[in-house]
Structures are given as structure tokens and as C-alpha cells.
């Protein structure tokens, strides 16, 4: 069974994985870039999180105090680092053409919603 310290450790692992992708993401350019490394890294973050979450099922509630604050602080740092990574990736998105047959950038439900507002 996971303890609060295990949860903090899991979150810190995710944070480090996100930090490790920031430099490769920043180096993306129209000529060259580690796109596969970034895609693989983001997939690894999802896989790691997907594996960690079921292990937390049945974990007793964490009372207010040191343990709860540690989890909250670790999660806050993960969100900050992940947001920075996603901002880099989103900023670089315009360098690459859309994949073939991708159609509109708006999913059909959003496209209809946008059309009805005009």
C-alpha cells in the first residue's frame, strides 16, 4: 500500500520526467528536432501516472499536516513544470504542418458550436 511518501516520490518522478523534456522541446526547430524523444517522453509520463494511480486505491485519507502538505507541494511543482513544458511544446507547434487527413483543427462538436455563435 502506498504511503504519503510514496505518493510524493511518484509525483517527483513525474516532475523530473517533465523537466527532462524541456531542453529537447526547446531545441525543436523547422529543420531538426527530437520530436520522437518528446513524444516518447510524454507517453512515458502518461504510462508512469497510469501505473501509479491504481496503487493509490484503498490508501487511507491523508490527514492535514506534514504529509498532506508534502503531497500538495509536490503536485503544485509538477503542475508548474508540466505547464512550462506544455507552453514550450505549444509554442513550437506552429513549426510543423498538420498531419495528413487531419481535417479541421476543431473537433466537429466545437466547430458546430463556433459556427452557431457567428
**pLDDT tens digits, one per residue of 4-31:** 899 999 999 999 999 999 999 999 887 7
Total domains present in the chain: 1
| pLDDT number for residue 97 | 62
Contact 42, 105 (CB under 8 A): no
User: Where are any strands of DSSP class E within the chain?
Assistant: none
| pTM score | 0.73
Per-residue pLDDT of 27-56, as tens digits, reads 988 777 788 898 899 999 999 999 988 888
Does 109 or 41 have the greater pLDDT score?
A: 41
pLDDT at residue 80 tops 90 = yes
pLDDT at residue 112 tops 60 = no
Q: DSSP 3-state assignment of 25? A: helix
Distances in whole angstroms, Cα of residue 83 to Cα of each of 8, 10, 18: 19, 18, 9
| pLDDT number for residue 105 | 54
Its domain, for residue 35, covers: 4-116
Provide the mean pLDDT of the chain. Answer: 83
Amino acid at each position: 500500500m502506498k504511503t504519503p511518501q510514496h505518493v510524493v516520490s511518484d509525483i517527483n518522478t513525474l516532475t523530473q520526467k517533465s523537466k527532462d523534456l524541456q531542453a529537447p522541446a526547446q531545441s525543436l526547430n523547422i529543420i531538426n528536432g527530437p520530436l520522437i524523444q518528446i513524444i516518447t517522453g510524454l507517453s512515458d509520463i502518461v504510462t508512469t501516472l497510469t501505473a501509479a494511480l491504481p496503487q493509490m486505491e484503498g490508501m487511507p485519507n491523508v490527514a492535514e499536516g506534514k504529509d498532506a502538505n508534502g503531497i500538495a507541494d509536490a503536485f503544485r511543482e509538477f503542475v508548474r513544470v508540466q505547464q512550462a513544458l506544455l507552453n514550450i511544446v505549444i509554442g513550437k507547434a506552429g513549426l510543423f504542418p498538420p498531419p495528413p487527413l487531419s481535417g479541421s483543427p476543431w473537433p466537429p462538436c466545437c466547430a458546430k458550436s463556433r459556427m452557431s455563435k457567428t
